């Protein structure tokens, strides 16, 4: 809950409140309260020289008193003590398994231990003589979003570091933490230079740190291994709670981030910066939270990809809630875009309606709506919306063009486009490509690919295959033998025959050929290609082509499942499949996904994405 606190000092009139030296308050005519105006009976004679001089009057300042803090000095705070009505977290394992949400806390603890296992945090061993065990404890925390809604239940296993002994269980413990002043400075730079501002979370950050000491910890309460109660956990990673955990994590992160060209700030050791010519990225590390302020979107994505390849990261998208501070972005340049309104207007319109909106916008404002969205939006949301605003064939042409620029890695996209479309649909995509780039798709494929891979891709996109259902059984048998000869001995011995078959035959004919192959050799073409050794991308391209031919939707479901694996979300692949098929056959893909993953596509997307990107993709998938 956020409070707006206005700090100020109230100024009282001079006549109120206690007076200096404890004097009683004066009455209306200046005498102390309770005294008479006439002289008292024992008052000394003013003419008596022996009488003591009257006391000097108390001097008081007549300056106007100003408030110590001005009224416009406002502090915004986020305090857990003000979380009225929120769920009270359990304080022990025994309490967690008995309260209302015990099943959710049980799942949270199991997830924590699963994470410990995947990170190889400890080994169960006998405790050596003279060694002391460090206790362990469960810590429970209910996580909330900025609006106060429950986001998830988090259980964390920590070591009781207060029982560690210096020089035995740990040595150095110091670890720097970025200051709030540095955070404010970065925010000022973001506003001044109109930088992209994104946030990432490092899952189980401390588990990345390596221990230099031998530390033995008691097994977690409620999860003691039966029959091994006498054993202890010999820690290999710097688990939360250890005195050196924070330091070991920082040293690991510092070592890795420097290899990517970042340099440490001399004043704040948790701020790093990287320059590429006039472009730059600022990285702020606050324990396990990372803030990225970047002048270039490509550098931003490169940094995110690097971090995700080295740590278990969660991309939170554009920063909105950092260190208890809620961030509202109001860019003075451009629209000050209302992303929710953009999603509401465009995500629920079909291709014809979106085209009318584009034309109306361009007529009214004399600028391209597509270009305006690209300049106003950012990140994966901007990429997805930029694709969606296009006509379906133009969209595929743009995606294909992007793939040709790094075809050694993105050739699966070309194969996907070739087989996900009918010959007539593929022709329209190529026509759109020619209109947009003033050259053919085949020309760009030939210019960027090499060897057998180039020959295969050119055959896939350059041939107008027959689209009928007729099948030649004899031809299917003979070409099944050719395929087996090319891949059956564990390596590719292809003289162009595989390319000829896959690139020219109709889909119905190829399915018949694959069935003959399976009947004759008790395996599928895909599995046979899986065991074929080939250092180039040719074999994998053949395998993808075979999967698309056999069942395009099954292949696309595999792409989606790989895109949302636990190691990190591949937003590029997720965007491509959802946006390309939202107006075509996404319902069939969703049904196949649910069948194979035992979870709805909507649930998987909701779990693995965030921010405006999540809202937009969820709208296309159809849950909103």
Q: Which residues are annotated as a binding site?
A: 334, 336, 376, 568, 606, 608-609
The Cα–Cα gap between 46 and 27 comes to 24
Structure tokens at 566: 């636990």
Residues 170 and 243: beta-carbon distance below 8 Å: yes
Residues 576 and 555: beta-carbon distance below 8 Å: no
Q: Which residues line the annotated binding site for Ca(2+)? A: 334, 336, 376, 568, 606, 608-609
For strands 122-125 and 74-78, give the pairing.
Answer: unpaired
Stretch (H or E) spanning 321: strand 321-322
245: left (phi over 0), alpha (psi -120 to 50) or beta: alpha
The Cα–Cα gap between 623 and 594 comes to 14
The Cα–Cα gap between 87 and 238 comes to 30
The Cα–Cα gap between 558 and 28 comes to 91
Q: For tokens 């025959």, what's the residue? A: 497
Residue ranges with strand state E in 311-375: 313-318, 321-322, 325-326
Q: Is the dihedral of CA 10, 15, 16, 19 positive or negative?
A: positive
For strands 74-78 and 232-235, give the pairing.
Answer: unpaired
Q: Is the dihedral of CA 435, 438, 439, 445 positive or negative?
A: negative
For strands 136-144 and 133-134, give the pairing.
Answer: unpaired
């Amino acid at each position: 809950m956020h409070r707006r606190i206005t700090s100020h000092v109230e100024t009282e009139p001079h006549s109120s409140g206690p007076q200096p030296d404890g004097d009683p308050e004066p009455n209306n005519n200046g005498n102390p309260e309770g005294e008479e105006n006439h002289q008292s009976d024992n008052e000394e004679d003013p003419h008596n020289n022996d009488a003591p001089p009257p006391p000097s009057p108390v001097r008081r300042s007549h300056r106007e008193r100003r408030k110590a803090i001005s009224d416009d000095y406002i502090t915004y705070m986020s305090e857990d003590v003000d979380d009225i009505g929120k769920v009270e977290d359990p304080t022990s394992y025994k309490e967690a398994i008995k309260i209302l949400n015990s099943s959710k806390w049980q799942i949270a603890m199991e997830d924590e231990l699963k994470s410990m296992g995947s990170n190889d945090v400890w080994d169960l061993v006998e405790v050596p003589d003279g060694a002391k065990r460090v206790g362990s404890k469960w810590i429970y925390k209910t996580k909330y979003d900025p609006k106060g809604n429950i986001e998830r239940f988090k259980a964390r296993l920590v070591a009781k570091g207060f029982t560690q002994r210096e020089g035995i269980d740990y040595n150095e413990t110091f670890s720097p933490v970025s200051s709030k002043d540095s955070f404010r400075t970065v925010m000022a730079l973001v506003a001044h230079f109109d930088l992209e501002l994104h946030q990432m979370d490092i899952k189980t950050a401390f588990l990345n740190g390596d221990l230099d000491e031998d530390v033995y910890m008691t097994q977690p309460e409620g999860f003691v291994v039966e029959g091994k109660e006498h054993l202890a956990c010999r820690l290999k990673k710097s688990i939360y709670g250890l005195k050196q955990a924070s330091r070991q994590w920082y040293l690991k992160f510092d070592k890795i981030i420097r290899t990517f060209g970042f340099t440490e700030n001399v004043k704040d050791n948790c701020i790093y910066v990287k320059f590429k010519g006039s472009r730059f990225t600022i990285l702020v590390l606050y324990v396990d939270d990372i803030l990225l302020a970047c002048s270039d979107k490509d550098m931003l994505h490169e940094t995110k990809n690097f971090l995700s390849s080295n740590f278990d990261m969660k991309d939170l998208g554009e920063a909105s809630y950092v260190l208890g501070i809620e961030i509202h972005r109001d860019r003075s340049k451009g629209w000050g875009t209302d992303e929710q309104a953009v999603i509401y207007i465009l995500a629920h319109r079909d291709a014809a309606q979106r085209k009318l909106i584009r034309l109306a916008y361009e007529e009214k404002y004399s600028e391209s709506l597509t270009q305006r969205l690209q300049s106003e939006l950012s990140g994966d949301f901007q990429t997805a919306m930029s694709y969606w605003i296009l006509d379906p064939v133009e969209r595929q042409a743009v995606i294909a063009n992007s793939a040709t620029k790094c075809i050694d890695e993105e050739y699966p996209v070309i194969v996907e486009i070739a087989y996900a479309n009918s010959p007539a649909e593929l022709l329209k995509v190529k026509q759109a490509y020619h209109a947009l780039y003033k050259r053919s798709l085949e020309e760009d494929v030939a210019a960027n690919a090499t060897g057998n891979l180039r020959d295969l891709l050119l055959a896939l996109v350059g041939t107008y295959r027959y689209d009928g259902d007729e099948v030649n059984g004899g031809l299917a048998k003979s070409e099944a033998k050719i395929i087996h000869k090319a891949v059956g001995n564990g390596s590719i011995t292809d003289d162009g025959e595989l390319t000829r078959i896959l690139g020219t035959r109709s889909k119905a004919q190829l399915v018949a050929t694959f069935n003959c192959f399976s009947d004759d050799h008790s395996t599928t073409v895909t599995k046979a290609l899986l065991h074929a050794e080939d250092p180039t991308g040719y074999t994998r391209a053949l395998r993808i082509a075979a999967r698309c031919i056999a069942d395009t939707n099954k292949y696309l479901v595999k792409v989606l499942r790989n895109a949302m694996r636990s190691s990190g979300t591949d937003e590029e692949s997720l965007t491509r499949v959802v946006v390309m098929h939202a107006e075509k056959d996404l319902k069939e893909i969703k049904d196949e996904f649910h069948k194979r993953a035992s979870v709805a596509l909507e649930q998987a997307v909701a779990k693995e994405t965030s921010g405006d990107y999540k809202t937009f993709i969820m709208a296309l998938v159809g849950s909103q």
